[in-house]
Amino acid sequence: MKELLIGKLGWESLPHEWFTIGAAVTFIAMGLVVALVITRLKRWKWLWKEWLTSVDPKKIGIMYFIVAGLMLLRGGLDAIMIWVQQALSTGSSQGFLTADHFQQIFTAHGNIMVFFVAMGFVSGLINYIVPLQIGARDLASPFLNTLGFWLYVAGVIMVNMFFLLGGEYAATGWLGVAPLSGREFSPGVGVDYMIWSLQISGIGTTLGAINFIMTILRMRAPGMTLKKMPLFTWGSLCSMIMAVTVFPLLTATLFLLFFDRYFGTHFFTTTAGGDPMMYTNLIWMWGHPEVYILMLPSFGIFSEVVSTFSRKRIASYTSNVVGMIGVSLFALSVWLHHFFTMGAGANVNAFFGLMTMVIAIPTTVLVFTWIATMYRGRIRFTTPMLWFLGFVGLFSVGGMTGVLLAVPPADFQLHNSLFLVAHFHTMVIGGVLFGIFAGIAYWFPKIAGIRLNERIGKYAFWCWLIGFLMAFTPLYVLGIMGATRRLNHYDASTGWRPFFIMALVGGIIIMVGVALQFVQIIASFIQRRQLIDVTGDPWDGPSLEWSTASPPPSYNFTVIPQVASRDAYWEMKQQGLPEHTFEDIHMPKNTASGIYISVFAFLAGFGFVWNIVWLIIASILGIIICVIARTFNEETEYTLTAEEVEKLESARIKRALAAHASKDEGSAGDMGLLEFVQVVIKWALDVVKSKRWRSW
Amino acid sequence: MTKRRYKFSQGRTIGLTLLGLVSLGLLTSVMLRGNDVALFMPKGSIAREQHSLMMFAVALMLVVAIPTLIIFYFFAWRYRESNNKATYEPNVSHGKFFVLSLWLIPSVIVLTLAHTMWPATHKLDPHRSIASDAKPLTIQVVALRWKWLFIYPEQSIATVNFVQVPIGTPIQFELTADETPMSSFWIPQLGGQLYAMTGHANRLNLMADTQGDYTGRSAEINGAGFAGMKFIARASSKEDFDLWVQKVQLSSNVLNTGEYEKLLKPSENNPANLYSVAQPDLYDTVLMKYSGSHRNHTEHE
């Protein structure tokens, strides 16, 4: 009876270890505080109507940033725990984590950083910026977009759910390699949580990608041919096409693994004709392109940044675009380089080695176009530009170590070592994450209407760069010393410890950088009257997103722009801006269907994890009913009449003029850390003195 | 807060960055002193060739990377906004030659490297026997949770977490696993790794050329005891090796079915152990257990 009702759940599934209890208490406390604040401010209805059910890609983009930012802290905490364990655990000391717990931590770290931090930030940027860059008012399918976001949130909750129920995550490495992830070697619920977390968010990614391909191909402003598209949009298009190509592979592979675990089939088992090598192939056929899915939007961001801040068009736009397309095509044919060491023949290995090296050609071309863009430019060293300058140095190192790893005989020595770990962190941090940070700093004025504090931003950049070098140089060295990845303990005689300690110090410096980034955002809002952007174009930007207000109205553009050339807005600024005429605007209505479907998807996944059959059936029925109900809903749009738009516009202009008048030009630049601390202390003292807190 | 402090000083930044990188390099080399740097201290022919191939690849890539990075950061400094002397030309048009060289330079480097890589991959294919006058020695390796079992079929001995080989003799490691997730057999100072998988016989050819004790381990995660799954590979003279074999052959510690069943049970941080072998076809028995999916890599070649 109990089986039927709650499956494998039992009292022992409740938190009972220090980390699960700690996490559960933290989650519940944070949830209560947030709920209390919202209730107190009477904002529940507003939250639901204006944000949660919104189909506006700008709001969804911001929600992606918030979730991904929280997950960055969560994944960063895992990273620190890994570093601390490795700095402690040598010789007779076993560190503070058991082997199993350590393995769960690095698995969760990998899953969270790739799926929920990098993918989250990238999706957020694409959501916010791409429609603006192509001069569109909304997306091809606004509903798919909100559904994609909420499935991502369901994945985020699923990946953290084990703290509350179950107490264990997968201990298999982030890809869940078979047969280690099979029922025989991982009987617990950890792998199931991983499967369903990735499965649900992966389906969301596929849907989002379809939507963005449609949007970019069908909804560009009149005159914007593919060859006039901004480079970030190009990067996003390449990335999304790759996502649609390979994410179904992930879905299928995870389903097969799930069948093995749930129904006892033999796709990837060691016995009864199963083949674990097939899993390795399938997962990397998705896994390698995934890296480029994250990388390509960053390439696009850097192209925008270097062009804007050099006040110069990108050099050889065509080579840049062909380079990005080349990267995405070749990226589909290199997956085997992740397991040269499995023992394929020399011809197979040499072929995949060659394909991998070939990718270095288009990426080098991209770097060359950026160099040529700076040539005879006028370079402003803003924070986005600093992230770019740091990126090129790290990316060169990462690229070279990547090509080195692509030489099969060298890979036999470097594979699975910390050298490999250092290599891909150079790419994912130095490439993807620096790109995201550059993008956020670059577009923040557009998103929030205020420029980010440059001074603290620069501190954050230097912390990240120095911390990165301190943390990952020792990992390269350790790999050369023969240290494999994922060791929870090593002999004292190896002499590795100083390097692990140095890495930990680097990790702490990176964390300071992360903290400074949060401080930077808060400090910018404190100084908002000074940092406000009333023009909509604070950097003298080249593309259409800068032609509208900061932050843009829900309909993005009052008049859909006519595009005549590349860098359309630069051109318009030189030619003179077109006349304003107001027109009726059709906008999509908000919908909660995405949330309902995602709740059911989460419950179905939860049912599969714990083997609760009635919950699975009910949830799947729920999903089907929601989808059918949604398709019958024909009133999905509303119209803003030309008069309403005119009213909104004049109100906005009035506000902008008022803000401009009250803009605080007098003070001496962006506040530093010291001032920030002073302001915060003063504010805290004020609150205490005024006794306002008592009414809470 | 004065405006002056906020001003960006390029010179100072460049100087500090260079200083930082140099001190990072110095710190690393000081910390390295007196330690084994496995990949740079090869003790076997394969490891030696892999090492020199890596050095060649790195050198070749630096030929492009160093000038590129110098030009990159020089341009960034040279065309800074505050430098009034630098030309500003927003509409530089780049000719066909420029585009051609964009693509040509990396292509030449990659093709050069590929030209070396392709034959080297064949030459250093782990399945390939090492050419030598000495008669090769076969050692069968079974990855178990979480220890390595070595069987010397010709010598009728077996070891756990310890393997001794004569120098100057090609060694054929036959790799498989039993009731263990994929593992990777790696002795960095002798040469690269290869996976040990249930139902597969993977062959790794190595040859030690210097006497000494070298660490080997599993490089692929395979469960809770992964970090402790390491062993000593001892390279000794031919004579010492023969003496050692004789000694082990006399051991009263016999590896029979019962003893093997014990080894199959998961255990962590196993000490080295030596056996004489009662069952010479143990390795084949292990492989046949998985005959439903049995595939032998080396037979395809």
Q: Which CATH number does the domain housing residue A653 bear? A: 1.20.210.10
- Are A346 and B73 in contact (CB < 8 Å)? no
Does A319 contact B103 at a Cβ distance shorter than 8 Å? yes
The average pLDDT across A181-195 equals 93
Of A272, A353, A417, the CB nearest to B219: A417
Chain B interface disruption, residue of A93, A284, A334, A413, most B CBs within 10 A? A413
What percent of chain A has a predicted confidence (pLDDT) above 70? 98
Do residue B226 and residue A486 have CB atoms under 8 angstroms apart?
Answer: yes
The answer on pLDDT for A638 being more than 90 is no
Are B223 and A185 spatial neighbours (Cβ–Cβ below 8 Å)?
Answer: yes
Contact across the interface for A502 and B27, Cβ inside 8 Å: yes
Residue A130 pLDDT greater than 80, yes or no? yes
Q: Mention every residue, 6+ apart, whose C-beta is less than 8 A from residue A513.
A: A460, A461, A462, A463, A464, A467
pLDDT at residue number A6: 83
Asked if B79 lies within 8 A of A378 by C-beta distance, the reply is yes
CA pair distance B270, A168, nearest whole angstrom? 26
- pLDDT tens for A515-544 read 999 999 999 999 888 888 888 899 999 999
Residues of chain B with C-beta less than 8 angstroms from the C-beta of A408: 117, 121, 124
User: Could you tell me the strand order of the sheet in which B191-196 lies?
Assistant: B162-166, B230-236, B212-218, B183-187, B191-196
Q: Name the more confident of A576 and B62.
A: B62
For residue B6, the model assigns a pLDDT of 43
For chain B, the structural domain boundaries read 40-78+95-124, 137-300
CB B50 within 8 A of CB A409: yes
Residues of A in contact with B90 (CB under 8 A): 311-313, 377
Check the CA dihedral A15-A20-A21-A23 and report its sign: negative
Report in angstroms the alpha-carbon separations of A687 from A165, A518, A661, A694.
39, 22, 29, 10
- Per-residue confidence band for B5, with pLDDT thresholds at 50, 70 and 90: very low
Which residues does chain A have within 8 Å of residue B114's beta carbon, measured at their own beta carbons? 353-354, 357
Token pair 């107490």 is found at: A167
Q: Write out pLDDT tens, residues A403-437.
A: 999 999 999 999 999 999 999 999 999 999 999 99
Whether A281 has its CB under 8 Å from any CB of chain B: the answer is no
Chain A neighbors of B195, CB-CB under 8 A:
339, 341-343
The pLDDT tens digits for B252-299 are 899 988 999 999 999 999 999 999 987 888 999 999 888 754 454 444
Q: Does residue B4 sit in helix, strand or coil?
A: helix
Helix (H, G, I), strand (E, B) or coil at A585: strand
Tell how strand B147-152 and strand B137-144 pair up: antiparallel
* CB contact A559 to B (< 8 Å): no
- Tokens encoding A550: 């900061």
Q: How far is B262 from chain A (nearest CA, A)?
A: 18
Residue A35 counted as domain residue: no
Q: How far is CA A1 from CA A21, A81, A166, in A?
A: 29, 41, 20
Pair of tokens at residue A133: 């860059």
Q: Report pLDDT for A664.
A: 67
Chain B CA closest to residue A106: B221
Distance from CA of B38 to the nearest CA of A (A): 5
pLDDT band at B2 (very low <50, low <70, confident <90, very high): very low
Query: What residues are paired with B216 via a beta bridge?
Result: B231
Residue B19's identity, in one-letter code, is: L
Asked if A350 lies within 8 A of B27 by C-beta distance, the reply is no
Q: Kindly report the three-state secondary structure assignment for every residue of A586-643.
A: EEECCCCHHHHHHHHHHHHHHHHHHCCHHHHHHHHHHHHHHHHHHHHCCCCEEEECHH
Closest CA to A374 of B44, B87, B184, B110: B87
Of the CATH numbers 3.90.330.10, 3.40.640.10, 2.40.10.10, 2.60.40.420, which one belongs to the domain with range B137-300?
A: 2.60.40.420
Least confident range from A639-648, B40-49, B139-148: namely A639-648
In a domain, A4, yes or no: no
B171/chain A closest Cα distance in angstroms: 17
Report yes or no: A383 at the B interface, CB cutoff 8 Å: no
Do residue A407 and residue B88 have CB atoms under 8 angstroms apart? no
Helices (H) and strands (E) in chain A, counts: 24, 2
Nearest to B55 by CA among B113, B105, B108, B104: B113
Greater model confidence, A346 or A581: A346
CA-nearest residue to B225 within chain A is A99
- Answer yes or no: do A343 and B6 touch at CB < 8 A: no
- pLDDT digits 0-9 by tens, A301-360: 999 999 999 999 998 899 999 999 999 999 999 999 999 999 888 999 999 999 999 999
A168 and A188 Cβ atoms separated by less than 8 Å: yes
Res A583: pLDDT: 85
Distance from the Cα of A84 to chain B's closest Cα (Å) equals 16
Rounded to an integer, what distance in angstroms lies between the CA atom of residue A167 and that of residue B253?
A: 43
Helix H or strand E segment including B147: strand B147-152
- Residue A602's pLDDT is what? 96
A 646-675: CB under 8 A from B: 668-672, 674-675
- Secondary element (H or E) of residue B196: strand B191-196
Q: Pick the residue from chain B with its C-alpha nearest to A309.
A: B81
DSSP character for B159?
E
- Dist CA A73 CA A78 (whole Å): 9
pLDDT > 90? residue A577:
no
- Residue A24 in any domain: the answer is no
A407: left (phi over 0), alpha (psi -120 to 50) or beta: beta
Q: Do A415 and B221 touch (CB under 8 A)?
A: no
Distance CA A254, CA A176 (A): 9
| A403 closest CB neighbour out of B57, B91, B199 | B57
Among the partner-chain residues B102, B184, B219, the one whose CB lies closest to the CB of A368 is B102
Asked whether the beta carbons of residue B76 and residue A379 sit closer than 8 angstroms, the reply is: yes
A-chain CB neighbours of B172 within 8 Å are none
Structural domain includes residue A31: no
The stretch B38-65 carries a mean pLDDT of 93
Which residues of chain B lie closer than 8 angstroms to A357, CB-CB?
110, 113-114, 117
User: What local confidence, expressed as pLDDT, does residue A668 receive?
Assistant: 63
pLDDT for residue B164 is more than 50: yes
Residue A163's nearest CA partner among A33, A18, A2 is A18
The mean per-residue pLDDT over the stretch A227-237 comes to 95
B147-152 and B191-196 strand pairing: unpaired
Q: Which residues of A282-302 are buried (b: 16+ CB within 10 A; e: fewer)?
A: bbbbbbbbbbbbbbbbbbbbb
Beta-carbon contacts of A278 under 8 Å, excluding residues fewer than 6 positions away, are A267, A268
Residue range(s) defining the domain that contains residue A261: 43-591+634-695
> Angle, to 10 degrees, between the axis of helix A231-262 and the axis of helix A317-330?
10
Residue A102: exposed, middle, or buried by beta-carbon count in 10 A (0-12, 13-18, 19+)? buried
| Contact of B147 with B113, CB cutoff 8 Å | no
Read off the pLDDT band of A640 (50, 70, 90). confident
Q: Where are the alpha helices (DSSP H) in A534-592?
A: 568-575
Q: How many Cβ atoms from other residues are within 10 Å of residue A72's Cβ?
A: 22
CB contact under 8 A, B102 and A339: no
Nearest residue of B to residue A103 by CA position? B224
Q: Which of residues 591-650 of A touch B (CB under 8 A)?
A: none
Residue A347 inside a domain? The answer is yes
As for the ipTM of the complex, it is 0.92
**Element at A14 (helix H, strand E):** none
Residues in chain A within 8 Å Cβ distance of B142: none
What is the number of domains present in chain A? 1
How much is the pLDDT for A248? 95
Q: Is the pLDDT of residue B3 over 50?
A: no
pLDDT of residue A696: 60
pLDDT of residue A470: 94
B35, B124, B182 member nearest A409 (Cβ)? B124
- Distance, CA of A557 to CA of B114 (rounded, Å): 51
**Domain assignment of residue A501, yes or no:** yes
